[in-house]
Amino acid sequence: MMDLERQNPAAAHWTQEQYESATSGEAHARRFAWVVENESGEASKVVAFLVAHEVDAEWELENMAVAMSVRLRGIGTLLLGKLIEIARAQNGDCIFLEVRASNKSARALYQKVGFKETGLRKSYYANPAENAILYRLTLH
């Protein structure tokens, strides 16, 4: 996951500890990670992932990346669909996220599945400094 994230400048850049926490499977964490692998030969390679966190009846999409080699094949839509399905099954009220203002492809994907722009966080991101656009999807 870290290799894929590092290849995507627009993805949230996490530490190894953050990824370990997200994928530990600890029930109390209420954090979920979905991974898409491409099996080629003997080795499988992570080509996409999504990490979300359940906070009461709200869900936060914390991080998501799709490899350039498999973009525009519906994998991002598939991952978001799975998150929406699980959040609804858990009686979630909404899913929220923030995304770099310049990440037009991610913003288009979020809007395609029904997220609405709800706000702005100035200078939220570093390296490079950039505003975050806030999105929310109401589930009911």
Active-site positions read: 98, 110
Per-residue three-class SS string for 31-51:
EEEEEEEEEECCEEEEEEEEE
Q: Which helix (H) or strand (E) holds 81?
A: helix 75-89
